Structure 1
Amino acid sequence: MNSRTMKVVGERIRSLREQRKWSQMKLGELADLHYTYIGRIERGENNVTMKSIEKVAVALDVPFEELFRFIQPLEKGRDEYYLSLLVSKFQGRSVTDQKRAYEMLSYMLDWKDE
């Protein structure tokens, strides 16, 4: 994988790990990879093997392709930038949490429009 792709995949892995409130050490233990290696993966510093990415996906309990879901790099200033950040925050949350967040956001946006 090229360095840009590795950076985006690394950011996705970090996001999924942080959603679970896991440390790099915990993810490393679950994936049978050293925690410093997890850090390098998350920063996009390593050209990792598909086997390592598969281990991370299994540890995170997500389908392999989930790590590549947002492969298009997010750029500030693009219309989709903040929308993509919101979507990534809701992934991995329960349907109940997603519904509550939607209702709160709807309330806030409706209130501001009045």
Structure 2
Amino acid sequence: MDRINTLVGDRVRELRKKKGWSQEELSYEAGVHYTFVGKVERGESNLILESVVKMTKALNVSLEEFFSTIDPSIGKEKSVLNQIILLLQNKSLEDQQRLYEIIQTVDKAFGNKE
């Protein structure tokens, strides 16, 4: 169990830093105490699912995305889809729409119909 706590903590820290947030900012966004975030990141706390959901929502990642790096076998068949989602998530809605239209055009070129 210690190993999974460490892996989860590392993932929380990675995502928090990617957002440029302090532990206090994540704790505020997730509605948990800032000392709890520190304990999680150090692997000192057993997380309950409710806390994981709060933090992933605050970090704007799905549970699948969160756990995919902890256990790469999770969602392995969807890895390309996950890569596309990661690419799109920080784009504007307008850019997302343009890219979707490009994908539709390419899909039709391969003979697939919607």
Bin for the TM-score computed over the shorter chain: 0.5 to 0.7
Give 1:71 deviation, angstroms. Answer: 1.7
Correspondence for 1:77? none
Correspondence for 2:97? none
Mapping 1:79-98, distance limit 5 Å:
94=90
The 2-side partners of 1:94 and 1:59 are apart by 15
Give 1:94 deviation, angstroms. Answer: 4.9
Aligned-residue sequence identity (percent) comes to 39
State the aligned residue count.
77
Correspondence for 1:37? 36
The 1-side partners of 2:20 and 2:4 are apart by 24
* TM-score, normalising length: structure 1: 0.61
Question: Which amino acid is the alignment partner of residue 63 of structure 2?
Answer: F
Give deviations 1:50-82, integer Å, cap 9, x for gaps.
Answer: 10000000000100122212225xxxxxxxxxx
Correspondence for 1:65? 64
Correspondence for 2:46? 47
The 2-side partners of 1:65 and 1:47 are apart by 19
* TM-score, normalising length: structure 2: 0.61
Q: CA RMSD in A?
A: 2.1
- For structure 1, the 5+ residue unaligned runs are 73-90, 96-114
Identify the structure with bigger relative contact order (alpha carbons < 8 Å, sequence gap 6+).
Answer: 1
Q: Report which of the two structures shows the higher radius of gyration computed on alpha carbons.
A: 2
Give deviations 1:21-52, integer Å, cap 9, x for gaps.
Answer: 10000000000000110010011100110100
Query: Which 4+ runs in 1 deviate beyond 3 A?
Result: 91-95
